[in-house]
Amino acid sequence: MPENSTLSKNYVYTQNRELSWLRFNRRVLEEADDSSVPALERLNFISIFSTNLDEFFMVRVGSLFDLSAIAPKEIDMRSGMTPAQQLDKIYRTVPDLLWRKKRIYATVCSTLAKSGIKDVSYDELKPDEGKFIARYFTQNILPVLSPQIADSRNPAPHFQNKHLYIACLVKSKSGKERVAFIPVPDILPRIVMLSPEGRFIRTENILLRWAPTLFGQYKVEESCVICATRNADVSFDIDKFEDTETDYRNYVKKLLKKRANLAIVRLEIGNDISVPFRKELLKIIPVSDYQVFYDSTPLNTKYVSQLLENLPEYLTSQLRYAVHKPVWPADIDKNSSVMDQIIQKDRLLFFPFDSVDPFIRLLNEAADRDDVVSVKITIYRLASSSKIVRALCRAAENGKEVVVLMELRARFDEENNIAWSKMLEEAGCKVIYGMENYKCHSKICLITLMEKGKFRYITQIGTGNYNEKTNTLYTDLSIMTADSIIGRDATAFFRSMLTDNLDEEYSSLLIAPSWLKPALIDLIDRQIAKGKDGYICIKVNSITERDIIDKLAQASRAGVEVRLIVRGICCIRPGINGNTENISVSSIVGRYLEHARIYCFGRGDQAEFYISSADLMTRNLQRRVEIACPVYDPDIKKALARILEIQLSDTAKASNLLPNGSYIRKNGAGLPLIDSQQKFSDETFHKSPPAQKRRRSAGPLSFLTKFLHLK
């Protein structure tokens, strides 16, 4: 292993990424504790919190266990902790979060019960409900059950990741105790509705009551619901080792030999059990005491989606957010060609407030127009029913060259992407799968036209996936431009992807892993040179990259005002004297998932803006193919500045990061409440423009052009 340079790092103004993530998930839970949020949405936030925590254990905790086994002295470059020390901190932090979840869940359930929506325990069943459930168990549940007693003849089941099991301590007539298990079959619904108004019982609670009837001569002494969480990163994804300084391939070779003993990283138990039962259970399930968590709230909250589907509309309309319908932007004429309007002027879409339909219309126009010769696009995640894919297939069927760079390694979405890639290929699209060691996380679409013997380009670059579903749930940005320099760069980008050339030089686009990080450092340096007149405002999902953090701290020491809007992980601590006192950090967690990335350097008319697919993380800047696109259009610059201004003024859903790494909600400061997401719903950045002359400005000389020239 090479010498670990992190030993010389200054940890005064940085913090561990895993602990920062847990604080983010606590902010998600705080939304469930907000009485101004509709009750069913509060329940949904609890479900999101639980799902987030599940994935955290599957991916992040799993990777730390792997590292602790094969690289125990590896030092986290932001906290100086070893993998074992990080795990210790995580396992000490989680119980408090579970206690908060239990309290909030009880409050939310009490609120929902006032509207008739109740998670009924078996003892709370009415007589007619009890008879119904008894019949339901006999007819619908019992035939698919596979109970088993773990002994020398019958090994314990392989505990599938995040599946529910009923665990029982059983005793034979001779007094011998065993542990028995009843897997909760996937084929069963997660809940059984007892009334149209919302009374329901969870399937695992039915099984708990009927478990004593399933083991013949054995008597059930105790029972509980259990759920095991496994290390789910079985693909050995390079992201797993994003913060290490040693070749991940060497880790993988060692990891293959140790995987079996490190598979389960958490065991959840749904109620208190006796010490003897616990001891017997842990003889079978290979976890240590500190990996066991008691959680009386549902161990799998996927039942929430089924509940929402079964509730009557009059209830859900009262207890959920008011329906928001994305609007067609006023500055794009529905009755005219979208492509022609983009040729006249750059266009901005701000999801979910704007509709994705203009972009889909653009793709459909490209499929039909005779002057379009090709459509090229990167795809990371897609909706289950994708109008975008249909438009691409139609373009290919109409004789256009369609190139799709499909990332098959989008975590937990691999199967869906494989299915879409087959459909695209069958339609005649050329599908490529990126580079061997680099995920392609870029969001770019290039339409090439032939006009009077010359090529013209329409380029769309976004911060989010080409997914019509998440376009209604995430805040994201999409710029559509006919800028010739951006178009030529986009052409070079797809050429480089086809030829595995990461060192392609670009004039305007900032491409990771070769160019984005040095470009950002140079942009920060230019603000450092301005001293107290410098200004940096960055909106991203996460900041973990140590070199960027150190450069921002340097900017703060130079007097530059640095304002960061970071939804999730933030490994820089603001307000540390002599280091980050000129840095402020806020986080917004609200109805929509904050997902847009905006980089702003400078103030007023001199400000330089970029939108990007990249967070400021090691994996994004060094181990993924990402794009940051400069913004040249003055109206779009003003819109981005306004977005940042409104988010910085948010007092309803924003929290401020404190020097000690904790967060404090702004809504407790007695300020007038400003909900930035609601404000975006209420106002628009689009105005119906007067007729404009055809123009084609290439924009100012980009950073990268100057950077390459200096080189």
Is 475:593 a contact under the CB 8 Å cutoff?
A: yes
Tokens of 519: 């470009």
DSSP secondary structure letter of residue 702: P
Euclidean distance between CA atoms 435 and 409, whole angstroms: 11
Euclidean distance between CA atoms 471 and 156, whole angstroms: 44
State which amino acid sits at residue 62.
G
Euclidean distance between CA atoms 301 and 280, whole angstroms: 27
Euclidean distance between CA atoms 423 and 618, whole angstroms: 34
The string of pLDDT tens digits covering residues 263-304 is: 799 999 999 999 999 999 999 998 999 999 999 999 999 999
Q: Which of 163, 441, 595, 686 is catalytic?
A: 441
Euclidean distance between CA atoms 275 and 177, whole angstroms: 14
| Residue 258 pLDDT greater than 80, yes or no | no
- Residue 70: band (very low, low, confident or very high) from pLDDT cuts 50, 70, 90: confident
**Nearby residues of 597 by Cβ (< 8 Å), 6 or more positions away:** 463, 477, 539, 540, 541, 611, 612, 613, 614, 615, 628
SS (H, E, C) 562-578: EEEEECCCECECCCCCC
Tokens of 660: 């000690």
Catalytic residue flag (residue 595): no
The string of pLDDT tens digits covering residues 334-343 is: 999 999 999 9
Give the DSSP per-residue string, 506-568.
-SS-EEETTTHHHHHHHHHHHHHTTGGG-EEEEEES-B--HHHHHHHHHHHHTT-EEEEEESS
| Residue 599 pLDDT greater than 90, yes or no | yes
Calculate mean pLDDT across residues 168-181. 93
Euclidean distance between CA atoms 244 and 2, whole angstroms: 11
What share of the chain in percent tops pLDDT 70? 89
The string of pLDDT tens digits covering residues 413-462 is: 556 667 777 888 888 899 887 777 788 899 999 999 998 889 999 999 99
- Helical packing angle, 83-113 and 39-55, nearest 10°: 160
Q: How much is the pTM? A: 0.90
CA torsion 197-318-39-475 (nearest 10°) is 130
Is 200:131 a contact under the CB 8 Å cutoff?
A: no
- Residue 687: band (very low, low, confident or very high) from pLDDT cuts 50, 70, 90: confident
State the pLDDT at residue 427.
87
Domains, the chain: 5-319 (3.30.1840.10), 338-498 (3.30.870.10), 510-710 (3.30.870.10)
